[in-house]
Amino acid sequence: MQMNENFFDHLVIGSGLAGLSSALALAEKSSGKIAVVTKGAVDDCNSKLAQGGIACVMDHADTFEEHITDTINAGGHLCDPEAVKAIVEAGPERIKWLMDIGTKFTTRGDLGDKLPRHKDELDLGREGGHLKRRVIHAGDITGAEIERALVEACRKNPKIQIFEHHIAVDLITTSRLGWEGEDMCLGAYVLDSATGKVITFSAYTTSIATGGCGKVYLCTCNADIACGGGVAMAYRANAKIANMEFYQFHPTLLYHPQVKNFLISEALRGEGGTLKMQYKKGEYSTFMENYHPLKSLAPRDVVARAIDTELKRTGQVCAYLDMTHKSEEFLRKRFPHIFKQCEVLGINMAKQPIPVVPGAHFSCGGVLCGVDGTTEIRGFYAVGENACTGLHGANRLASNSLLEGIVMPKLAAGHIEKCLPELKEKRPLKAIPEWTTGNATNSDELIVISHNWDEIRRFMWDYVGIVRTDKRLERAKRRIRNIQAEIEKYYWDFHITSDLVELRNIATVAELIIDSAASRKESRGLHFNADYPERNPDLDRVNTVIQKNTPGAILVPQK
């Protein structure tokens, strides 16, 4: 083994819910060593910001069939029914697993129900697109509570080693190295942010769980780390990428000059919250009845477009979410985190509506894979938001993301357990070449990185946002081509930094979204093109697929 090479049986890139669940699931199945590589602190992730909860059938009045139906209805005729069924039905066991490792979910007793038979029952919330209450939550800080339990469990497990402030640069595959034979993933090149050195992490299996790519847009509720690294690395490794045009904009980010990226959970609308516009000063009027039979509980794509339309039509800067029908006591108990944040800003949500705007939230596309994370590259797995299994289709049903993030790692670990002997046998015995910087020098022009970063986020918001047109997409494509050329030259001329790695990934993801959107000549779910405002039934269950060594995005029917 080379001096700068770290060998592990399994490498997990990302430390959110899907990443840490993967490490723990692998530890249960394997006796080998597991490395978790994460670009920031271990709990610096999108998962920690999740407020709503996990959609899962846990009540006798609910059924798997109803959850499956709600998911497919929200998904705009693009969900893979088999994938939906597999993930939905695996949910209850994984909820129990989370509770077993110490996750504390809200019970009815926590909210004041004093009946003995109800006290220990999980409190089930309802969100947009769900016809039943099935969202398990921990107050309004569900993600933070789950992440806390996962971090503690990983820290206690002697098989798992966590490398904080290490940012993955590129996957190492046999095809990248020019080696003959079946394409296999051998690990990843990883930048140690503290030393500036690129280290080789090699492993029998590599799982990416880097989460979303919200930072590709100007307005987002995602964490700063959400730069699409997993999808970008997978694309560069020649994995298939699917359905990147379907980017979900959450309808309700808090609109206030002192706060950025703060989400107002869909669970508020599940508790009867009503969306309104202030058409006249001091007068609030509802509008969602003009857009969908479920009104304020319509699926997210419908609600986000409705708000966007009303804002552009009226010139208003925000919409409002009215919770004044609920008591202050209830709101403080059910939504303590949101209530406190609003209160700090002078908004008492029990007495006045909350100002809200849409923002980039979740990528329904990603690395094309099975529900067990398997890809066409041997030994390479994708789990969580950077995966595209067919669960979400053209529009994710609320709180199905955390469900996918806990189910996929268990299924992936099961597949890895079966295939590990063969992976060990087929792995090439050659030494992996060290990362080389060539003639790179230190740069004194960091303005190039910050300018390109800002420009990408601005034109993606303006041209490839909630509503698109062919002309807007053409403009975006011209800009991203120029920026890609600048980044590529900069990347090879100067020493690599974490900012440069993230810019490169954002540019790659932006181009994937643009190309995918341009290839789909229809409107479906989260992809709305004003030049083609109707869904084309011939494209039901047809994926948009992009692969690096294949020209352009192509439409491929699901199997």
Q: What is the DSSP string of 123-155?
A: PEE--TT-SS--EE-STT-HHHHHHHHHHHHHH
Place of tokens 């190309």: 515
Take residue 551 and report the two structure tokens written for it: 């020209």
Q: What strands, in cross-sheet order, belong to the sheet with 366-368?
A: 387-388, 366-368, 241-242, 542-547, 550-557
Query: What ranges make up the beta strands (E) of 118-273?
Result: 124-125, 135-136, 160-163, 166-173, 185-192, 197-208, 241-242, 247-254
SS (H, E, C) 80-117: CHHHHHHHHHCHHHHHHHHHHCCCCCCECHHHCCCCHH
Tell me if residue 300 is catalytic.
yes
Task: Write the burial class of residue 17 (CB in 10 Å: 0-12 exposed, 13-18 middle, 19+ buried).
Answer: buried
Q: Identify whether the C-beta of residue 24 lies closer than 8 Å to the C-beta of residue 101.
A: yes
Sign of CA dihedral 436, 162, 90, 231: negative
Q: How far apart are CA 439 and CA 510, in angstroms?
A: 28
Catalytic one among 94, 126, 134, 300? Answer: 300
Residue type, 23: A
Containing 339, the helix (H) or strand (E) segment is: helix 336-344
Question: Which residues have a catalytic role annotated?
Answer: 300
